[in-house]
Chain A
Amino acid sequence: MGVLLISPEKCTGCRACELACSFAHEGEFNPARSRVSVLSPGGEDLSAPVMCLQCEQAACVTACPEHAIHEDARTGARVVNNTRCIECKMCMHVCPFGCTSYDSVGRRIIKCDLCGGDPQCAKVCPSGAIRSVERASLSIARRRQTAQKLKAILGRGSEQ
């Protein structure tokens, strides 16, 4: 089961993830209908991808009155059952990251579904700001990054 590892400090703001996402889900290049957004709150020079982190204790799952959001056993993604969904938007109110949204064109709730196990955003990200990793190895991947930073700080960055 996969999960997306986000390294915001690597994001260049190219927005390829938004294009790949909207293309995979809606068949068009349209950042406004993407499940991931590249935002630059501190000005154009600094940007970061913001997307669903597939919470274990997901507020959207708990809050949904129709039990329309569930964990996909194969991919580990929290996915919306659009047949059950009544579009009450409770999931949007409770998500601490703002990562469930309403697609006014398709008239349905949309959120990251990890593309059925093959996340397209990670595939196109040129800088490794979004990577698809096994859930079990998420923390070791992060620790590796920390170790590398420490190494650089200690002035031995060039030795591998």
Chain B
Amino acid sequence: MTFGWRGQILRVNLTHGTFDSVPLSREETKTLIGARGLAAHLYAQHEAAAKKNESQDNALIFATAPLTGTLFSNSGRFSVVTRPAPNANLSCAALGGAWGPELKYAGFDAIVIEGKSSKPVYLWISNGEIELRDAGSVWGKNVRECSERLRSACHRSARVCCIGPAGENGLSVAAVVSDMHIASCARGVATTFGEKNLKAIVVRGTTGIRVAHPTEFMEKVQKLRRTSSSLHLRCMGSKLQGPVLQINSALEDDEALLDDGVRPTGCFGCMSVFTSFTNTRTDETLSCLRAETSAQNAQLQEQREFVDLGLDYVLTKALLSSGKFGGARNDDATMAGRLAHGEFGAAASEEMQPEEVSHSGCTVGGYVMVPGALTSGRESDLEKRLMLAAAELVGSCAFAASRLSAEQIASLLRLATGVDYSPEDVLRAGEKIAEMTCQKESLSDANNCH
């Protein structure tokens, strides 16, 4: 019996169309824990095996964390890791939504995708049943249409993680999209999907996650949920032009939000959807939820369109404003469409690379950008940043993580998995993963690390 974890890793070989599942051992998760950490560990395993066979195969790894899919707040997290180029650092896209939890309900903690398919395919996982299906009908389709079609073909309640046309066409500004509108761009991750001819992974799971100490775990989680609504929360990162950044709890304000007829929505398990956001540049408080129907409407709509094409909003916007593509400034959505569909070729976006430093933030629902834990420019305190990195390893969104201490993370881990983690273990894991996926010098230099 495994606690917190489900105890199985799915390995898929696209070249041969074969699957097998391997057990997840305790030792494997002790040092680097889960998500990006587990994925990095599995990538190293894959590389060692590939070296033996003298193969250059690049794997694409999806990994959840021990708290993913539990009642711990903002627990919808998972990471996608690949090596964008030989000798480059590992690259990691971190995403939310209900896909990660669904994978755990299907019985798997992680998926290792090896090889390359000869034609477009998607992976359909229904509990223990795995199938590679032809993706000819959704190749070239936008994220929303692809997700809806695949759900109709597989299961109404299934969850989809896919790429849009941008990823298929090898654009460096392409993003991976989970649950239709949660997008994350990391160097080479979405394009590796495309290279492997993998359009999507569709998951449906109906089995449960158990924790080692149920009563204590629940007490701890309930307490954190109660306090998380009253704590002041500071958030970092300033890449999205517009309505993001400082978060204040505003639970009492929810009636006011609803007056506008705006429906606040969030990722799986999200408690931050009720927060209001302060634009740090102008110090003007505006709710990102309310924003959708007010002043920011046009920009947010545009962001949704970009995500639908499988593009990273910030990078693409910067690329289009470089003037290289001409056209009126207000016509970015059309230009983005042409770019994503490969009209200008993959080389068109070459100059716009996500930083060498792994960029793990994600855009949610077209209105919020969750900053990457390791890569947040404003936080100069190294220990705090390592703690945020560690929080990502246990399955916490950066929004919730800012409220946690290493002691709290360690205690949640102990209660969920039954394995004796200390706060030092947690911080060490954060440091180790930072070394593996982020350049050390830029980690201590906030300006180079966005």
State whether A14 touches B208 (Cβ < 8 A).
Answer: no
Tell whether A30 pairs with B266 under 8 Å between CB atoms, given A9-B258, A23-B214: no
State whether A15 touches B98 (Cβ < 8 A).
Answer: yes
Task: Give the segment of A63-71, A109-117, A123-131 that binds chain B.
Answer: A123-131
State whether A14 touches B71 (Cβ < 8 A).
Answer: no
B289 and chain A: residue at smallest CB distance: A12
A149 and chain B: residue at smallest CB distance: B259
Please indicate the chain B residues that have their CB under 8 angstroms from the CB of A29 in the complex. Answer: 69-71, 208-211
B268 and chain A: residue at smallest CB distance: A15
State whether A23 touches B218 (Cβ < 8 A).
Answer: yes
Instruction: Return the contact of B208 from the options A30, A152, A157 (Cβ within 8 A).
Output: A30
Does B207 sit at the interface, judged by CB under 8 A? yes
1/0 per position for A113-149, CB-CB distance to B under 8 A?
0000000000110111000000000000000000011
Does B423 sit at the interface, judged by CB under 8 A? no
Instruction: Return the contact of B210 from the options A27, A44, A127 (Cβ within 8 A).
Output: A27
Does A46 sit at the interface, judged by CB under 8 A? yes
Tell whether A45 pairs with B251 under 8 Å between CB atoms, given A12-B273, A30-B208: no
Does B270 sit at the interface, judged by CB under 8 A? yes
Tell whether A27 pairs with B269 under 8 Å between CB atoms, given A15-B98, A45-B263, A148-B255: no
1/0 per position for A86-106, CB-CB distance to B under 8 A?
000000000000000000010
Does B15 sit at the interface, judged by CB under 8 A? no
**C-alpha gap A12/B265 in the complex (Å):** 4
**C-alpha gap A59/B256 in the complex (Å):** 38
A153 and chain B: residue at smallest CB distance: B259
State whether B208 touches A26 (Cβ < 8 A).
Answer: yes
Please indicate the chain A residues that have their CB under 8 angstroms from the CB of B269 in the complex. Answer: 14-16, 19
B267 and chain A: residue at smallest CB distance: A14
Please indicate the chain A residues that have their CB under 8 angstroms from the CB of B266 in the complex. Answer: 12-14
Instruction: Return the contact of A31 from the options B73, B105, B180 (Cβ within 8 A).
Output: B105
State whether A30 touches B71 (Cβ < 8 A).
Answer: no
Does A33 sit at the interface, judged by CB under 8 A? yes
A9 and chain B: residue at smallest CB distance: B258
1/0 per position for B201-227, CB-CB distance to A under 8 A?
000011111110010001000100100
State whether B258 touches A10 (Cβ < 8 A).
Answer: yes
Tell whether A32 pairs with B206 under 8 Å between CB atoms, given A13-B266, A16-B71: yes
Give B74 Cβ to nearest chain A Cβ, in Å.
9
Tell whether A20 pairs with B265 under 8 Å between CB atoms, given A14-B273, A29-B209, A30-B208: no
**C-alpha gap A92/B225 in the complex (Å):** 34
Please indicate the chain B residues that have their CB under 8 angstroms from the CB of A54 in the complex. Answer: none
B210 and chain A: residue at smallest CB distance: A28
Q: Which of A14, A30, A31, A105 is most buried by chain B, counting CB atoms within 10 A of its CB?
A: A14
**C-alpha gap A30/B208 in the complex (Å):** 4
1/0 per position for A18-47, CB-CB distance to B under 8 A?
011011001111111100000000001111
A-B contact count (CB 8 A): 92
Instruction: Return the contact of B209 from the options A10, A13, A28, A152 (Cβ within 8 A).
Output: A28
State whether B271 touches A44 (Cβ < 8 A).
Answer: no
State whether B251 touches A126 (Cβ < 8 A).
Answer: yes
Does B431 sit at the interface, judged by CB under 8 A? no
Among residues 169 to 223 in chain B, which have CB atoms less than 8 Å away from a CB atom of chain A? 179-181, 205-211, 214, 218, 222
Please indicate the chain B residues that have their CB under 8 angstroms from the CB of A152 in the complex. Answer: 259
Q: Which of B205, B251, B258, B267 is most buried by chain A, counting CB atoms within 10 A of its CB?
A: B258
State whether B273 touches A33 (Cβ < 8 A).
Answer: no
State whether B71 touches A20 (Cβ < 8 A).
Answer: yes
**C-alpha gap A105/B73 in the complex (Å):** 27
Give B303 Cβ to nearest chain A Cβ, in Å.
15
Please indicate the chain B residues that have their CB under 8 angstroms from the CB of A19 in the complex. Answer: 69-71, 269
State whether B225 touches A124 (Cβ < 8 A).
Answer: yes
State whether A22 touches B254 (Cβ < 8 A).
Answer: no
Does B8 sit at the interface, judged by CB under 8 A? no
Please indicate the chain A residues that have their CB under 8 angstroms from the CB of B205 in the complex. Answer: 32
State whether B264 touches A127 (Cβ < 8 A).
Answer: yes
State whether B270 touches A14 (Cβ < 8 A).
Answer: yes
Please indicate the chain B residues that have their CB under 8 angstroms from the CB of A126 in the complex. Answer: 225, 229, 251, 271, 273-274
State whether B70 touches A12 (Cβ < 8 A).
Answer: no
28 residue pairs of the A-B complex, CB under 8 angstroms, read: A9-B258, A12-B264, A12-B265, A12-B274, A13-B265, A14-B268, A14-B271, A15-B269, A16-B271, A19-B70, A19-B269, A20-B71, A23-B214, A27-B214, A28-B209, A28-B210, A29-B70, A29-B208, A29-B211, A30-B105, A32-B105, A47-B265, A123-B222, A124-B71, A124-B225, A149-B259, A152-B259, A157-B256
**Besides A14-B270, A127-B273, 6 other A-B contacts (C-beta < 8 A):** A13-B265, A19-B69, A19-B70, A26-B208, A28-B210, A126-B271
A-to-B contact residues, CB < 8 Å: 9-10, 12-16, 19-20, 22-23, 26-33, 44-47, 105, 123-124, 126-128, 148-149, 152, 157
